[in-house]
Amino acid sequence: MKKRLLPLVRILMKVFPIHELIKEVQRQDAISICHRLSTSSKDVVFYETAKVVNTQLDKSKIIIGGGTHIGGMLFITGYGGNISIGENCYIGEHSKIWSAESISIGNDVLISHGVTVMDTNAHEINHKLRADGYINLHKVGDKYLKGRVITKAIVIEDHVWIGFNCIVMKGVTIGKGAIIAAGAVVTKDVEAFTMVGGNPAKVLKKLSEF
């Protein structure tokens, strides 16, 4: 009986690819979670590579404007953090927007793949506190407290373009229309309509405002 059924099962799987249907259901579930954990317009697009980690379980902590496409990760810690993304932005695959304080991204901002924007040191500077904090993190998980971890808000203004594999560190403001060249590490403010590059990022040239 089993031998007779096998050819029929194979034919059915070709006509109705069940594994593809399962993958699609899983993809839609993951996208639905992204929407549930953020305050996002209906026309916000989450790619299948997107992930939203809202440890505070407060949708108002992650706000995404209309026309924005998310391919990377948005993450806020349990002890603090806010992410605000404007309209018609793009967050590329494997990019990470991690907040323990505040990250504000304006309108028409393009963030390429592999970019990290992080407003926190994540760990303590003092070696003993850092060791204790790491152990405590694994014990209490989401209930982990900030302690002496240093955090500073990040502001990325309208029309900024951040190239692939860049790092934007805590406390930085990137002015309107600026371009961050691929692979740059931004540790200081960037003026409007300025291109920077390198590690640490330095001014490469001024850009036209028109």
pLDDT, tens digit, 9 for 90 and up, residues 37-75: 899 888 999 999 999 999 888 999 999 999 999 999 999
Distances (CA, A) of 61 to 22, 40, 79, 92, 111: 31, 11, 12, 21, 20
Structure tokens belonging to residue 178: 């600026």
* Catalytic (active-site) positions: 123
The answer to whether 30 and 48 are in contact (CB under 8 A) is: yes
Give how many domains the chain has, as a whole number.
Answer: 1
Write down the pLDDT at residue 6. Answer: 64
153 within domain boundaries:
yes
Q: Where are the beta strands (DSSP E) in 2-136?
A: 39-40, 45-46, 51-54, 62-64, 69-70, 73-76, 83-85, 90-91, 96-99, 103-105, 110-111, 116-118
Task: Give pLDDT tens digits for 178-201.
Answer: 999 999 999 999 999 999 999 999
For residue 25, tell me if it sits in a domain.
no
Q: What is the mean pLDDT of the chain?
A: 89
Strand partners, 141: none
> Does residue 90 fall inside a structural domain?
yes
Cα distances (angstroms) measured from residue 188 to each of 77, 95, 139, 169, 191: 24, 20, 35, 8, 10
Q: What is the CATH number of the domain that holds 113?
A: 2.160.10.10
pLDDT of res. 26: 58
Residue 142, domain extent:
37-198
User: Is residue 27 domain-resident?
Assistant: no
Q: How far is CA 175 from CA 93, 163, 192, in A?
A: 24, 15, 4
Write down the pLDDT at residue 140. Answer: 78
Rounded to whole angstroms, the Cα distance separating 26 from 76 reads 24
Q: Is residue 206 part of a domain?
A: no
Residue 8 belongs to a domain: no
**CA 205 to chain centroid:** 28
pTM of the full predicted structure? 0.85
Q: What confidence score (pLDDT) does residue 10 get?
A: 65
**181 is a domain residue:** yes
Stretches where the chain sits below pLDDT 50 are: none
Compute CA 52 distance to the chain's CA centroid, rounded to the nearest angstrom. Answer: 8
Length of the chain: 210
Residue with tokens 């249907």: 21
Domain membership flag for residue 61 = yes
